[in-house]
Chains A and B, each alone.
Chain A
Amino acid sequence: MEHLIKELVTKMADDALILGHRNSEWTGLGPVMEEDIAFSSMAQDKIGHAWALYRILQEMPGGQDPDQFAFLRPESEYKCCHLSEMPIGTYEFSLMRHFLFDHAETVRYNSLLESSFVPLQQLAKKVKGELKYHTLHAAAWILQLGKGGTESHGKMQAALDNCFPLACGIFEPGPDDVQLSDIYPGERALYEQWLDNINPILTKAALKLPENVTPAYGGRYGQHTPHLHSLLKEMGEVFRQDSAAAW
């Protein structure tokens, strides 16, 4: 049971760390100053959430220092989904990824409010309030750009077509999810709830979910896109110079 909880916390933490790193790549590059600040702030939030989750792992038997765990694992031990690994790409790609991912996070943390695993249940109360600003930000732009004229709508629809199969990979089921039923409702249930939450916003923005998609699975089993390799190399570059340094 304990190793299953560790797997759940690890994949959540890795998603937050990797996407947090990606969000931070918009610092200095945002299309307008407010968006530069928004993505930088969300990066900070995500890395804070990752840190809190790595702290939970540290408190469990066999736990490791959060920084060492975050930066020094071999690539195959990261459990992030492919969506989080993709380069920032165009602004509409990053925006759509942020919309789909933060709605998924909201569903997950809402479900954890009922978790029997106290550290996650307590953290969920904190993260839920913070995520509200992420989803408000995302929805405002999805609506504005989805309805913003032919070119704008076309770009947002293409971004959705591109991101949706990747986002479905967030909910890649684990073989023993059913044993975690007291901890959280499982990936299938979260996926259904997520669709219920994003559909009304997408409809309002005149955007259509693509049909017959193949979810981008593999991340939860340590199989990643080539993009993660270069990200990890860059992210840990300073840390690896002296992994025992005090900051």
Chain B
Amino acid sequence: MDMIKIIYQSLEKVMDPEIPVLNILEMGMITDVQQDEKGIHIKMIPTFSACPAISLIKQQISDTVSKDLQLPVEVTVDTAIQWNSNRLTETAKEKLRGFGIAPPPVHHGEIDAEMLIHVTCPYCGSENTFMRSPFGTTLCRAMHFCRQCGMMFEQFKPLT
């Protein structure tokens, strides 16, 4: 099988430490994978620039891929590409919902207040919800409340 494909299969095993149901490919965090005589070179991007998990994720990528492929692995942060929430795959959004986190809507380059107000409750599916705070337990989440089922829930924030 194609080497790059095998590396991607290995990357599927690296989960996001803050959302353990999603791997880093589903999160849209990998921007480039190369292999040459020196080893494997992987470029990744964090969701938020102050994400405290960056060094942990880099380490997990390096450990997992070097163990699977028995080659030296270099992981760098790609500064040319910025993460935005449209990079989350459809599978990722479905898994988020299952985990109790409302996925971000697809945006077109701008976030407006409307996108944050009408968030579907991941528990009961109601749209009768309101935002309690644009900040939450992690930088990538906001807090909402569902009037229908009376549950607090989190939303993965849309980010441009």
Contact = CB atoms under 8 A, between A and B. Distances in A.
Nearest to B136: A37
B136 A51 contact: no
B48, B116, B157: most-surrounded residue (chain A CB, <10 A): B48
Interface residues of B, number: 25
Contacts of A132: 111, 160
Interface residues of A, number: 28
A42 B139 CA distance: 9
A49 interface: yes
Main secondary structure of the interface of A (DSSP, over half): helix
A23 to B, nearest CB: 11
Contacts of B50: 44-49, 51
Contacts of B113: 136
Is the contact region of chain B dominated by helix, strand, or loop, or is it mixed? Answer: loop
Interface stretch (A82-90, A123-131, A219-227, A232-240): A123-131
Given A132-B160, A136-B113, A48 B51 contact: yes
10 contacts: A37-B133, A37-B135, A37-B136, A45-B50, A51-B49, A51-B50, A122-B79, A122-B80, A132-B160, A133-B142
Interface of B: 48-52, 79-80, 82-84, 111, 113, 116, 132-137, 139, 142-143, 157, 159-160
Interface of A: 34-35, 37-38, 40-42, 44-49, 51-52, 119, 122-123, 125-130, 132-133, 136-137
